[in-house]
C-alpha cells in the first residue's frame, strides 16, 4: 500500500519526495512508513523494484481475449508493454536523475537483498515472450513464421526507441503491428 501510494510521487519528485508526502498519499502516519521500511532509501528501492516488476503487464497480457483478431491482440499487447516501459522509465529516470542509486542505503556496500535476484531480467523477458507467444499461437496456421519468432521480433520492435532517430515521430502500436504482420511494401496489386 505504501509503495503503491509512493510510486506517482516518486515519478514526479524522484528522490526528493519526502516520507511525509508519501504518508499523506497513503493515508497513514509518517511513523508507519518507518515501521515498514528502515529508511527512505529502502522505500525508494522498493518503489524501483515495483516499477520493474512485470507481474502487472503479464496480467494485462493474459487478460487479452484470444477470440479477437491477431492484429487487435497484438495492438493491445503493444499498448500494455509500452505503458509498462513508460512507468518503469519514469520512476527509474526520476530516481536516477535526483541522485538515488539502488542499494545506496548501506554506503558503498550493497546488500544482496537490494539487488535483483540473478537472472531476474531474463526471467521477466522470458515470461513476457511466453505471454506473447500465447497471444499469437491461435493463428499459427496462418503465419509464415512460428509464433516464438514473431514474438521475438515484436518485442524487438517495441523495445527499440525510434523517437530520436525518426525526428520525434514514434510509430503507433497499430502501425507497429501492421508492419509486423504485413510488412512495409504496398500490395502487388495496388497502384504505386
Tell me the per-residue pLDDT of 85-117, one tens digit each, with 9 for 90 and over: 888 889 988 998 888 876 544 444 444 444 556
How many Cβ atoms from other residues are within 10 Å of residue 61's Cβ? 22
Residue 38: strand, helix, or coil: coil
Which tops the pLDDT comparison, 59 or 188? 59
Task: Give the mean pLDDT of 33-40.
Answer: 94
Query: What was the pLDDT predicted at 112?
Result: 41
Neighbours of 182 (CB within 10 A): 10
Question: Do 105 and 39 touch, CB atoms closer than 8 A?
Answer: yes
Per-domain boundaries in the chain: 2-182
Q: How many CB atoms lie within 10 A of CB 145?
A: 12
158: pLDDT strictly greater than 80: yes
**% of the chain surpassing 90 pLDDT:** 61
C-beta separation of 159 from 57 below 8 A: no
pTM, rounded to two decimals: 0.77
User: Cα(70)–Cα(61) distance, rounded to whole angstroms?
Assistant: 13
Q: What's domain 2-182's superfamily in CATH?
A: Tetracycline Repressor, domain 2 (1.10.357.10)
Q: With CA atoms as reference, report the closest residue to 48 among 79, 13, 94, 81.
A: 94
Listed residue (84, 82, 99) closest to 52, CA to CA: 84
Amino acid at each position: 500500500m505504501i509503495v503503491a501510494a509512493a510510486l506517482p510521487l516518486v515519478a514526479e519528485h524522484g528522490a526528493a519526495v519526502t516520507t511525509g508526502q508519501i504518508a499523506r498519499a497513503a493515508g497513514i502516519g509518517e511513523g508507519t512508513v518507518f515501521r515498514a521500511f528502515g529508511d527512505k532509501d529502502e522505500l525508494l528501492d522498493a518503489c524501483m523494484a515495483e516499477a520493474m516488476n512485470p507481474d502487472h503487464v503479464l496480467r494485462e497480457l493474459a487478460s487479452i481475449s484470444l477470440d479477437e483478431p491477431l492484429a487487435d491482440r497484438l495492438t493491445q499487447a503493444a499498448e500494455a508493454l509500452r505503458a509498462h516501459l513508460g512507468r518503469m522509465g519514469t520512476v527509474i529516470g526520476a530516481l536516477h536523475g535526483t541522485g538515488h542509486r539502488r542499494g545506496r542505503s548501506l554506503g558503498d556496500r550493497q546488500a544482496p537483498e537490494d539487488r535483483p535476484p540473478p537472472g531476474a531480467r531474463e526471467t521477466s523477458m522470458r515470461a513476457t515472450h511466453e505471454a506473447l507467444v500465447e497471444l499469437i499461437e491461435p493463428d499459427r496456421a496462418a503465419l509464415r513464421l512460428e509464433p516464438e519468432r514473431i514474438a521475438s521480433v515484436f518485442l524487438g520492435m517495441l523495445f527499440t526507441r525510434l523517437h530520436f532517430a525518426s525526428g520525434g515521430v514514434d510509430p503507433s502500436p497499430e502501425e507497429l503491428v501492421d508492419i509486423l504482420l504485413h510488412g512495409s511494401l504496398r500490395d502487388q496489386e495496388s497502384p504505386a
